[in-house]
Amino acid sequence: MINYWRILFKALATGALALIFTLIITSIFVPMMGGQLAGAGLIMTIVCPLATAIPMSALHYLNTERLRIARNKALEIQGELEKANALLIKHSREDSLTGVLNRSTFFDKLITASNSQQTGGLLFIDLDHFKTINDTYGHATGDAALRRIGALLNRLSLRNGFAGRLGGEEFGVFINSADVSFIYQYAENIRREISILRIVASDNKTVSITASIGVTLCEAGFNLDQSLLEADEKMYIAKRQGRNLIIA
């Protein structure tokens, strides 16, 4: 909002300064030219700077204030656009329910890891008996479980890799490490953390979750399709062997 009183004060101050400088200059040069600063000349010396400086400076300060407000508004809009753009990018990369990467972004990052000659472990995670949870306790409980799993995977993979939702109750995790024992221990941490999760259903019953995990080692320049197939096959072996297991 424009502060007109502030603009008026600044214009009057500018007019006063213009009057002072005009009086100083005329009091020096008029006598030097043989004249006398009095009468109509003195009145004009006073009126002219006030009549010109005050309205011109007021217009200048008003336009400056308008430009300042417009610039601040433009910066505010730019900031909002940047936030909105960042949010759109974030939403385009993330799974809306779980907060981990969506399927296409997860695969894109795997391709980047392969092209950049990274070595790591690829985990294929499938939640056990998840359909039973949805059928018994409702999809709201199932969604709550998926959100908890997503938060867990994001937390555990923050430093060493990335996680994505491949579809339904299936998740993928890539661990950027060449240490086989570290990768297995990482998978074990995920299995254990999932097994101790407890979800409170709408009827206040506590629901537990387990996961079967297949792990495959990805060498530098690994083939994405082959690695996914191997991890998927190992996950199904874990299912057949009793679930809540890791097959690596």
**Looking at the DSSP assignment, which residues form a beta bridge with residue 175?**
121, 161
**Looking at the DSSP assignment, which residues form a beta bridge with residue 212?**
126
- 169: annotated active-site residue: yes
Q: How deeply is 235 buried, as exposed, middle or buried, from its count of CB atoms within 10 A (0-12, 13-18, 19+)?
A: buried
Residue bearing tokens 């079967």: 212
For the beta carbon of residue 241, count every other beta carbon within 10 angstroms.
11
Indicate which residue of 80, 82, 94, 169 is catalytic. Answer: 169
Task: Give the whole-angstrom CA distance, residue 152 versus residue 163.
Answer: 10
Contacts of 29 (CB under 8 A, 6+ apart): none
DSSP, residue by residue, 85-118: HHHHHHHHHB-TTT-SB-HHHHHHHHHHHHHTT-
Nearest alpha carbon to residue 238 among 165, 188, 186: 188
Q: Which two tokens stand for residue 149?
A: 């799993």
Cβ atoms of 15 and 57 within 8 Å: the answer is yes
Contacts of 213 (CB under 8 A, 6+ apart): 123, 124, 125, 126, 187, 190, 191, 235, 238, 245, 246, 247
Q: Which residues are known to be catalytic?
A: 169
